Copies of this chain bind each other. A is one copy, B any other.
Amino acid sequence: MAKTKVTLGIDIGGTNTVFGLVTKDGECLHQSGVLTLADKPAGDLFNRLFEKFHTIFDPVKDQYELCGAGIGAPNTNYYTGQIVSPPNFNWKTENLTELLKKYIDLPVAVTNDANAAALGEKMFGNGRGLKNFIEITLGTGLGSGIVVNDEILYGSDGFAGELGHITAIPDGRICGCGKKGCLETYASATGITRTVYELLSESSCKSKLRSVSFADLTSKMIYEMAKDGDEIALKAFDRTAKILGRALADAVAVFSPEAFILFGGLANAGDLLLKPTKKYMEENLLQVFKNKVKILQSGLEASDVAIIGAAALIWNEI
């Protein structure tokens, strides 16, 4: 029986590291994971990761031909294979491709999570057939993977594509990166909770959100309350969309993409976010770009996308 060709996709997050085997059609098989335990050295994670991998893979390895392994992780550099001082990790600069080679003697590659998502989207999701598009991941922060002429934009040093850290509001909200007014301080799951508190401070209208503490507030709760017609929650989506829409219009002026594809927790709000974002983007577009650029939701399963994207790194190369 012919073996099924698969690549191993690994997504290293601050809390969990997940992995799975991905076929060339983008199917994710034997998905599993381990705790990242980011306060311990990288080698510790890799030991536990590959112990678990072999537990799962060895019994079925006759069915598969493993062709390589890709990693998606924060602050990684595609060119060098390094992860550089990732926030919330007790790691300094680690060469992840070299580390990975110790466990798996096959083609390996790393990239940041948003680039991996863009690549997964391009090969298996709503980016299929698009030569120029921008994947926006709206999670705790805002990540972006930018596809120019069918290729991920890495720039001169491998760290390009940080739309989350363009200045949305000069001298605005303090960002985790040390700058002020970065787009992700407004347009992200964390950003919208900050916006709710801004709105609560500005007005005195009634809102169920007045009884939720900042620490307890999630973007999902804001979404639920917006669906129930809560005025503050609705305004929070509108204000988020206004800032995101304007930033997307700026990205259009620079990149002229065919589409934006939104992914992640906040993007799950669907039309509540997408419709006003589209409206504000159109308002801010140069005439020549009006009514040309789509805003789509991701076509990938949320639970798989990080793994599929990481695995796509290898599918893209072979």
In angstroms, Cα B166 to Cα A284, docked, is 9
Are the C-beta atoms of A256 and B166 separated by less than 8 Å? no
* Pairwise interchain contact A163-B286, C-beta atoms closer than 8 A: no
Bound CA span A181–B286, Å: 13
Task: Determine if B156 and A131 form an interchain contact, defined as CB atoms under 8 angstroms apart.
Answer: yes
Q: Does chain B have a CB within 8 A of A157?
A: yes
Q: How many copies of this protein are present in the complex?
A: 2
In contact, B155 and A132 (Cβ under 8 angstroms): yes
Contact of A132 among B151, B156, B251 (CB under 8 A): B156
> In the complex, what distance in Å separates the CA atom of A214 from the CA atom of B17?
61
B84 A162 Cβ-Cβ under 8 A: no
| A222 at interface, CB cutoff 8 A | no
Is A256 touching B286 in the complex (CB atoms < 8 A)?
no
Tell me whether B256 and A288 are in contact (CB under 8 A): no
Give chain B residues whose Cβ lies under 8 Å from the Cβ of A120. none
CB distance from A213 to the nearest CB of B (A): 30
* CB-defined A-B contacts under 8 Å, sample of 25: A132-B155, A132-B156, A153-B254, A153-B255, A154-B256, A155-B255, A155-B256, A155-B257, A156-B258, A157-B288, A158-B256, A159-B256, A160-B253, A160-B254, A162-B254, A163-B254, A165-B286, A166-B253, A166-B254, A167-B249, A167-B284, A170-B170, A177-B286, A178-B287, A254-B254
Instruction: Knowing that A75-B288, A160-B256 touch, tell me 18 more A-B residue pairs with CB under 8 angstroms.
Output: A131-B156, A146-B254, A155-B256, A156-B257, A157-B256, A157-B288, A157-B289, A159-B286, A160-B254, A161-B254, A162-B286, A165-B286, A166-B250, A167-B246, A167-B249, A170-B170, A170-B246, A178-B287
